[in-house]
Amino acid sequence: MDPVNRKIRLATVWLGGCSGCHMSFLDMDERLLELAQRVELLASPFTDYKDFPEVDITLVEGAVANEEHLEQIRLIRRRTRILVAFGDCAVTGNVTALRNVFPVEEVLARAFQETATPVVGVPRGNPAVPRLLERARPIHEVVQVDYFLQGCPPSGPEIYEFLMALIEGRQPEIARKKFG
Amino acid sequence: MSIKTLTIDGRMVTGAAGESIFDVAWNNGIRIPRLCHVGGISDVGACRLCLVEIEGWPKLAAACLTPVEEGMVVRTQTERLRRHRKLIVELLLAERNHVCSVCVQNGHCELQDLAAELGVDHVRVYYRFPRLGVDMSHERFGLDHNRCILCTRCVRVCDEVEGAHTWDVAGRGVNCMIVADMGEPWGNSETCTSCGKCVQVCPTGALFEKGKTVGEMYKDRRFLKYIVTAREKRQWIR
């Protein structure tokens, strides 16, 4: 395809977050149709993909909370031109990082033993269950981040304005009245 | 009363001898950022956000603690000051656990507002994630050490306006904490009058009324002006 007029290749990923930022993405409502004219969505929690593609923009929701996230975010960084920390968990750690004040063993015991019914115990040695990192991290502590889109979650219109600016090659106006 | 004439951000302004640069600037509509200053109680220069440049001075000066002098040339909004202030706010955010999205003060927090105003879009230093407690022993109020920035407004208003001196500061460095009486649970304090002045002057969600959930805590410190006017002018007027 014509490299100048080709559509912007977009990806969105969901690391250690609640999916609220992606729900907010869907809150763009009819503007999603407008966005679809301008971008090609190559990877997202809504699409099926085996290997993370080479893209222009990736929105990363969530903190880096386990070993799989760590591996993913490094690969995503290598294959992304503009990496965006998408929402407060990606930007600050936010709710995902609330557990950081406790040792991982305490966190696991609380989730899988003290409050679980039925109690099956803490999953260990199962390769399908990624190991938690000692601390959940905002993504800029792990890889270079190009833009920070704050909010818990950022609103649909904010996401739209931000993406349109990037697509049109403008500096996104992300000065918010509120931190976090 | 002797009058001092000085220049702040290129504007010629006047203040009374003994008045701080901070007060003279604000009286003239020049807004210097602050988190520990609050009108009506003494200043301590704890937050360092009101640092200003003064021509001929080798160091930056805290505007709240520096009296105006004749012929002073003060700059409050230089690029260097903006850089320092931004980093101060980031350090405050990283020092304890300020999780805005689940905080009682979300949306009307002085720290959060200042972060936005200074263009903080992420924190460049590593978060410390200290393990701190929440004191819910008081009948009506709570103290969340996770949100405390140690501005000591609560300590000063309790001592200087209420006259109880329930609050004080214990420990050094990262172990520095606001404590009630001799370090006991707030609810056990024999000096606390439950007046709530500390809660109303607290700039963040560290002190709050019980029963308030995310974003529901609004602070109102108009009482302070009322009391200080009464004390200074002998008039109970709003």
Residue B111: give its domain's CATH number.
3.30.70.20
The answer to whether residues B72 and B137 belong to one domain is no
- Residue B238 inside a domain? The answer is no
**Minimal CA separation from B196 to chain A, in Å:** 26
Residues of A in contact with B99 (CB under 8 A): 92, 94-95, 97-98, 180
Residue-range domains of chain A with CATH = 8-97+131-167 (3.40.50.700)
The answer to whether residues B108 and B214 belong to one domain is yes
Q: CB–CB of B8/B28 below 8 Å?
A: yes
Q: CB–CB of B108/B219 below 8 Å?
A: yes
From B77, B93, B116, give the residue that closes a domain.
B77
Closest Cβ opposite residue A95 in set B99, B122, B127:
B99
Token duo for residue B26: 């604000």
The answer to whether residues B87 and B63 belong to one domain is no
Residues B230-234: what's their mean pLDDT?
91
The answer to whether residues B15 and B98 belong to one domain is no
CA distances from A115 to A76, A103, A126, B112, B161 (A): 35, 17, 21, 34, 47
The answer to whether residues B193 and B126 belong to one domain is yes
Residues B73-79: what's their mean pLDDT?
98
According to the model, what pLDDT value does residue A127 have? 85
Closest Cβ opposite residue B121 in set A93, A135, A174:
A174
The answer to whether residues B90 and B133 belong to one domain is yes
CATH number at residue B58: 3.10.20.740
Tell whether B233 lies on the interface with A, counting CB pairs under 8 A.
Answer: no
- Residue B221 inside a domain? The answer is yes
From B44, B77, B110, give the residue that closes a domain.
B77
- Residue B95 inside a domain? The answer is yes
From B24, B57, B77, give the residue that closes a domain.
B77
Count of domains observed in chain B:
2
Helix (H) or strand (E) holding B82: helix B79-95
The answer to whether residues B31 and B113 belong to one domain is no
User: Number of C-alpha atoms within 13 angstroms, CB side, residue B238?
Assistant: 3
Mean pLDDT of chain B: 96
Tell whether B218 lies on the interface with A, counting CB pairs under 8 A.
Answer: no
pLDDT tens-place string over residues A79-120: 999 999 999 999 999 999 999 999 999 999 999 999 998 888
Residues B193-199: what's their mean pLDDT?
98
The answer to whether residues B107 and B216 belong to one domain is yes
**For residue B107, what is the nearest residue in chain A, using CA coordinates?**
A178
Tell me how crowded residue B81 is: count the other CB atoms within 10 A of its CB.
Answer: 19
Q: CB–CB of A10/A142 below 8 Å?
A: no
Residues of B in contact with A158 (CB under 8 A): none
- Residue B66 inside a domain? The answer is yes
Which has the higher per-residue pLDDT, B142 or A118?
A: B142
pLDDT tens-place string over residues A32-55: 999 999 999 999 997 888 899 999
- Residue B199 inside a domain? The answer is yes
- Residue B119 inside a domain? The answer is yes
- Residue B156 inside a domain? The answer is yes
Residue A50 CA to residue B121 CA, distance in Å, equals: 33
According to the model, what pLDDT value does residue A4 have? 63
The ipTM assigned to this model is 0.92
The answer to whether residues B126 and B208 belong to one domain is yes
The answer to whether residues B94 and B146 belong to one domain is yes
**For residue A174, what is the nearest residue in chain B, using CA coordinates?**
B121
- Residue B223 inside a domain? The answer is yes
- Mapped onto helix, strand or coil, the DSSP state of residue A20 is helix
Q: Which of B95, B97, B100 to mutate to test the interface with A (most CBs of A within 10 A)?
A: B100
pLDDT tens-place string over residues A133-177: 999 999 999 999 999 999 999 999 999 999 999 999 998 877 666
Give the domain extent around B43.
Answer: 3-77
According to the model, what pLDDT value does residue A173 have? 78
Residues B16-25: what's their mean pLDDT?
97
The answer to whether residues B90 and B154 belong to one domain is yes
- Does residue B123 carry a pLDDT above 60? yes
Closest Cβ opposite residue A180 in set B112, B130, B132:
B112
Q: Do A179 and B122 make contact, defined as CB atoms within 8 angstroms?
A: no
According to the model, what pLDDT value does residue A47 have? 86
The answer to whether residues B139 and B202 belong to one domain is yes
